[in-house]
């Protein structure tokens, strides 16, 4: 049986340092808060809030530690791949399900040309899980147009499953079982992915140079965003994510991440390692594994294959959600999938770090609920403060004295600023020092973009807290969210749509603020940063979906459009002008569609 190479000392040091930073930060925040709320004694509310703030601060500190590590770690030069070796049999896999076929197949046409320009003879397999007959007919029609565009008969294949078992993971597994033996390497994409042929060629060469790599993950940049929300995400992915990903890569070493797309796999390694079980019991905790990518990375590592991330490899792109509702809909599935990992924490043979990654993914969602519990506990602590006079036992553990609310809030505020905001401005300094600031519009525009992104994130944080808390509660109550269709291209929302989607958040905020105002008026001012965005949720949902001037959130990817992205836009525009698909295009299609 294969085994991963021993953990090198540098990676071990990075892991210990980041874990220690998170632990020290969380402990310090807890001590400061408890010290701010007591004078001569501790009560049950202090203990409860101390535990909650310990957990939430540890989570914030963990993210800050990744940023600090990414800033401190030097770029690791990767040896230039040998592009002269014969290319092993390679296939590009594009799983789709109820997507816009014109956009999706135009991307494939652009990538096919880019692969040809890079001298990479690779097949492309479009793996459809579309169930709707009208959508399926449209896919077949546009597939014919794709074949005409690329002259790709015998090289670009399309098949549609009649059995959608396992969703995307099952779709890829089905291909590997039936056709994987013909290929040594496979690039896994999403329907909205775009990759330069030269990038894929370098990935192939990297896999050839190190036969122990089972999976190589790139860091995709978001492109084609138009809305306020979408452009903010696009900017963050281009500006902040490379630093965070560098820190992540240093910590994870050979037990790296898989994000489900824009990655290359060694087919034999995947076939030997990644057959996913169907969890017993009904959804949401049973059934098919939704967040399959983390599990597949863990299974590859269990079988001794390296799983690496290369955040420096350019030419990898994807599209992101254009509004909060699209993001929340996708996030609901991820929440259920990550909470499913509680069933896998003690699976036999997994690397310790893989188990820790599962824990990270679980806490990525339950931390929102913990934050909400902290706020509720803070309100209850104030309301229940007089009760020890009447119920000295067992409620009161130690004598309680009036607390200094200002001191407590100040400590909490400084902790949040230090762990969330300071790392982003440190990244700004690093980008300027490395001479990359011009790609983001220069120092002034980049600084304004960072500040605006922080302000926007602060306003949206309570709204996302509500969506994520609701998602966690739904999963814990046994409600299956399923795998909703992707709403790619869903953009501008009306105010009425915002009201329909966000009034429950507004109502919750209004009730919370009213109750606190009447029973604990001293807390009203401190809850405004949380409750005001909740009150404005419908307006924020609508406004952030609107197109934004390009003065802010400029990225290098839009200042200098990548060839494959530009080619996609030109092909897509031409196909739309040709009214693709057309009703007669499906005649004779069965001759070109492979099983």
Of 249, 251, 250, 253, nearest in space to 219 by CA:
249
pLDDT of residue 163: 86
Asked whether residue 181 is domain-assigned, the answer is yes
In this prediction, residue 583 carries a pLDDT of: 34
In tens, the pLDDT along 295-336 reads 999 999 999 999 999 999 999 999 999 999 999 999 999 999
Query: Is 348 within 8 Å of 298 (Cβ atoms)?
Result: no
In a domain, 399, yes or no: no
Q: Please report whether residue 486 resides in a domain.
A: no
Strand partners, 185: 90, 266
The answer to the question of residue 105 being in a domain is yes
Query: What is the rounded average pLDDT of the residues 587-593?
Result: 37
Query: Dihedral of the CA atoms 396, 397, 400, 403 (nearest 10)?
Result: -110
Q: To which H or E segment does residue 318 belong?
A: strand 316-318
Give the pLDDT confidence score for residue 211 in this predicted structure. Answer: 94
Token pair of 163, please?
């059995």
In a domain, 230, yes or no: yes
Closest CA to 206 of 190, 193, 187, 192: 187
Which residue(s) pair with 222 in the sheet? 318
- Sign of the Cα pseudo-torsion (292, 294, 295, 300, in order): positive
Give the integer Cα–Cα distance in Å for 330 and 363.
17
Q: Is residue 541 part of a domain?
A: no
Of 5, 38, 13, 36, nearest to 388 (Cα)?
38
- CATH number, domain containing residue 173: 3.90.550.10
Q: Tokens standing for 223?
A: 């492109």
Give the total number of structural domains in the chain: 1
Residue 270 to residues 1, 187, 207, 264, 305, Cα–Cα distance (Å): 15, 12, 14, 10, 9
Flag whether 565 is in a domain: no
Tell me the mean pLDDT in the region 459-476. 96
Tell whether 330 is covered by a domain.
yes
Confidence at 548, pLDDT banded by 50, 70, 90: confident
pLDDT value for 74? 72
Strand partners, 317: 194, 221
**CA distance readout (Å), 7 to 11, 13, 15, 198, 255:** 7, 10, 11, 32, 10
Task: Report the interhelical angle of 9-37 vs 44-72 (nearest 10°).
Answer: 150
pLDDT digits (tens, 9 = 90+) for 118-173: 999 999 999 999 988 999 999 999 999 999 999 999 999 999 998 888 889 999 99
Q: What is the pLDDT of residues 223-243, one digit of tens each?
A: 999 999 999 999 999 999 999
Q: What's the domain range around 267?
A: 90-334
């Amino acid at each position: 049986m294969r085994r991963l190479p021993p953990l090198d000392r540098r990676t071990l040091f990075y892991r210990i340092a980041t874990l220690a930073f998170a632990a020290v930060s969380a402990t310090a925040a807890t001590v400061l808060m408890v010290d701010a709320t007591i004078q001569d004694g501790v009560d049950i509310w202090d203990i409860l809030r101390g535990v909650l703030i310990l957990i939430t601060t540890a989570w914030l500190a963990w993210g800050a530690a990744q940023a600090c590590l990414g800033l401190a770690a030097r770029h690791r030069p990767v040896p230039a791949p040998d592009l002269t070796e014969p290319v092993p049999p390679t296939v590009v896999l594009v799983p789709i399900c109820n997507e816009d076929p014109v956009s999706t197949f135009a991307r494939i046409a652009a990538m096919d040309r880019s692969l040809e320009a890079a001298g990479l003879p690779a097949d492309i397999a479009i793996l459809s899980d579309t169930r709707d007959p009208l959508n399926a007919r449209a896919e077949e029609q546009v597939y014919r147009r794709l074949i005409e565009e690329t002259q790709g008969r015998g090289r670009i294949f399309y098949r549609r499953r009649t059995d959608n078992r396992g969703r995307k993971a099952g779709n890829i597994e089905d291909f590997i079982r039936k056709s994987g033996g013909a290929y040594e390497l496979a690039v896994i994409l999403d329907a909205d992915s775009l990759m330069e042929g030269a990038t894929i060629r370098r990935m192939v060469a990297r896999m050839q140079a190190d036969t122990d790599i089972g999976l190589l993950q790139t860091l995709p940049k978001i492109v084609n965003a138009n809305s306020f929300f979408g452009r903010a995400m696009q900017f963050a992915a281009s500006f902040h994510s490379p630093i965070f990903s560098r820190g992540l890569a240093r910590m994870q070493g050979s037990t790296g991440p898989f994000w489900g797309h824009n990655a290359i796999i060694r087919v034999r390694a995947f076939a030997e390692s990644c057959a996913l079980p169907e969890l017993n019991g009904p959804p949401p905790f049973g059934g098919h594994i939704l967040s399959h990518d983390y599990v597949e990375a863990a299974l590859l590592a269990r079988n001794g294959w390296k799983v690496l991330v290369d955040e420096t490899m350019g030419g990898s792109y994807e599209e992101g959600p254009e509004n909060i509702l699209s993001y929340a809909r996708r996030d609901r599935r991820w929440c259920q999938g990550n909470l499913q990992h509680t069933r896998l924490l003690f699976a036999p043979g997994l690397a310790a770090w893989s188990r820790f990654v599962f824990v990270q993914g679980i806490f990525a969602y339950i931390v929102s609920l913990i934050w909400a519990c902290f706020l509720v506990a803070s309100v209850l602590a104030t309301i229940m403060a007089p009760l020890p006079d009447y119920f000295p036992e067992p409620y009161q553990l130690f004598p309680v004295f009036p607390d200094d609310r200002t001191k407590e809030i100040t400590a909490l505020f400084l902790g949040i600023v230090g762990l969330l905001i300071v790392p982003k401005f440190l990244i700004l300094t690093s980008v300027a020092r490395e001479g990359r600031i011009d790609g983001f519009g220069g120092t002034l525009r980049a600084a304004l973009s960072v500040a605006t992104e922080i302000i926007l994130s602060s306003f949206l944080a309570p709204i996302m807290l509500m969506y994520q808390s609701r998602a966690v509660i739904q999963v814990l109550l046994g409600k299956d969210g399923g795998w909703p269709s992707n709403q790619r291209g869903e953009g501008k929302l009306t105010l009425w749509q915002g009201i329909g989607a966000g009034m429950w958040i507004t109502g919750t905020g209004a009730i919370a603020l009213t109750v606190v105002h009447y029973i604990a008026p001293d807390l009203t001012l401190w809850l405004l940063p949380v409750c005001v965005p909740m009150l404005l949720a419908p307006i924020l949902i609508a406004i952030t979906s609107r197109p934004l001037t390009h003065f802010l959130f400029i990225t290098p990817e839009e200042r200098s459009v990548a060839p494959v992205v530009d080619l996609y836009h030109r092909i897509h525009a031409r196909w739309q002008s040709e009214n693709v698909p057309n009703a007669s295009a499906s005649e004779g299609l069965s001759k070109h569609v492979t099983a």
